[in-house]
Amino acid sequence: MAPNATICKAVLHIADVDRQYYEDHSITLARHPSETDERMMVRLLAFARHAHEALSFGRGLSTEDEPALWQKDVTGLIELWIEVGVPDEKTIRRACGRARQVWVYTYGGRAADQWWKQNGAALDRLNNLAIVNLSLEGSRALTSLAQRSMDLHCTIQDGQVLIGDGTNAAQMDLLLWKEPARE
């Protein structure tokens, strides 16, 4: 955990109709001093989309050889590597060599669009890579839910996500920029 990290706790009630996954998770998030609420909430959204008992958060922005989230099997092999933001191509290629599946969740509007324009052709060759983009409105709506202590309900169906705290809610479509190759 990073020094001076802000600790946020969340109870996340997940109803993922697409995967038939219905579970509650108690999560502790360490937000690095340089991490924004927006990035932290996109990490939480990525957790909800891939929720599994073995899925865990990486050590954070200050650790280059770990992703935002990952899932390992019982032997320690990396089944799932999840990055958030606009990582460089080299980082993604290295992750694709280490993990069975790699997912990148981009956000931020024009910056994400520009990143995809610059890297899309090279990344398209990576068969175990998926890239999802959140609209600027969607990621900002998520930011409005950020608190030090959160109790969130998340429903995922047909590629749409609705996440709320009982008072405020964020609904967003997730745009799949790149699908992984079928196994």
For 23-34, the pLDDT digits (tens) are 999 999 988 888
Domain presence at residue 1: no
Q: Model's pTM, two decimal places?
A: 0.93
Domain presence at residue 17: yes
Query: In this structure, are residues 7 and 37 in contact, taking their beta carbons and an 8 Å threshold?
Result: no
Angstrom distance (rounded) from CA 28 to CA 149: 9
Domain presence at residue 43: yes
Q: pLDDT tens digits for 101-141?
A: 999 999 989 999 999 999 999 999 999 999 999 999 999 99
Q: Is the pLDDT of residue 180 over 80?
A: yes
The domain in which residue 150 lies consists of: 6-178
Q: Which residue has the higher pLDDT, 11 or 32?
A: 11
What's the number of domains the chain is made of?
A: 1
Query: In this structure, are residues 134 and 111 in contact, taking their beta carbons and an 8 Å threshold?
Result: no
Domain presence at residue 183: no
Q: pLDDT tens digits for 69-94?
A: 999 999 999 999 999 999 999 999 99
Q: Is the pLDDT of residue 99 over 80?
A: yes
Displacement of CA 84 from its chain's centroid (Å):
5
Tokens read off for 147: 């608190």
Domain presence at residue 153: yes
Domain presence at residue 155: yes
For 80, half-sphere exposure in the C-beta direction (CA atoms, 13 angstrom radius) is 19
Helix (H) or strand (E) holding 142: helix 136-143
Tokens read off for 43: 């990490």
- pLDDT of 34 reads 86
Q: Is the pLDDT of residue 61 over 70?
A: no
Angstrom distance (rounded) from CA 82 to CA 9: 20
Domain presence at residue 49: yes
Position 176: which residue type? L
Query: In this structure, are residues 19 and 29 in contact, taking their beta carbons and an 8 Å threshold?
Result: no
CATH of the domain at 150: 3.10.640.10
